Amino acid sequence: MRNIHDSKYDSVLAQLEKTYPTYTLCSYENLGRIRNEFKITNKPRFWNERCEEVLSAIHDIDGTFHHYPDKYKMKMIMSTQFESLFSSQIFPFLQNKIRDTKNPNPEQTAIMVSMCQMYLRLGLDGMKETMPSEFLHILQAKFDDIMLLMDSINQYTKRIAPKYTKSIDFDFDFYTKKKKSKKK
């Protein structure tokens, strides 16, 4: 049975189209349901379908990103939308899930640790590559301290969530390899 469109329904749709003129992920009706403007009749089905749409969009980006010229890859990476997705959506969501409970869900903790490790590695690699060589020996000592701490967190997370051990494995060998000193 379809909903009968009334003037309120149409005005909400018009407002959504005005607010999000380039929105293409789903229909404006579904966007209204996501924003709690319209009633959702079968919630599990609705959210599963929206989840599949988002995962499909991510898959499409993953499959085509490497074909873009470097200039446009950088445009996407440096965009406020890209940064905002992680800094104001994903990380705060996971932090709140972990912080709000007395006994955090081990799976959520493992996901958060895994994501933090991935971004830490990217950041440290970037710092190593872009810093002048004069600072590298100073930074290396700090990196070693950070990696020791991350290894401890990794071991702790493996203990509290042994089921998710594979998802939180982190390659510390990359950072802990010491330069071989020449013996004279």
35-57 tens-digit pLDDT: 988 889 999 999 999 999 999 99
Angle at 167 between CA 161 and CA 173, to 5 degrees: 105
- Among 50, 67, 84, the domain-final residue is 67
Q: Is the pLDDT of residue 95 over 50?
A: yes
Tell me: do 110 and 170 sit in the same domain.
yes
Which residue is associated with the tokens 């010491």? 178
Q: What DSSP character marks residue 165?
A: T
Mean pLDDT over each residue of the chain, to the nearest integer: 79
Burial label, 109 (beta-carbon count in 10 A; 0-12, 13-18, 19+): buried
- Number of domains making up the chain: 2
Residue 55 to residues 20, 39, 51, 52: CA-CA distances in angstroms? 20, 23, 6, 5
- Among 15, 41, 67, the domain-final residue is 67
Domain that holds residue 168: 101-175
Sign of CA pseudo-dihedral 91, 93, 96, 100: negative
pLDDT tens per residue across span 105-133: 777 777 777 777 777 778 888 888 888 88
Tell me: do 168 and 112 sit in the same domain.
yes
Tell me: do 105 and 166 sit in the same domain.
yes
Q: Which of 15-19, 126-130, 131-135, 165-169 has the lowest average pLDDT?
A: 165-169
Tell me: do 106 and 171 sit in the same domain.
yes
- Domain-embedded: residue 184: no
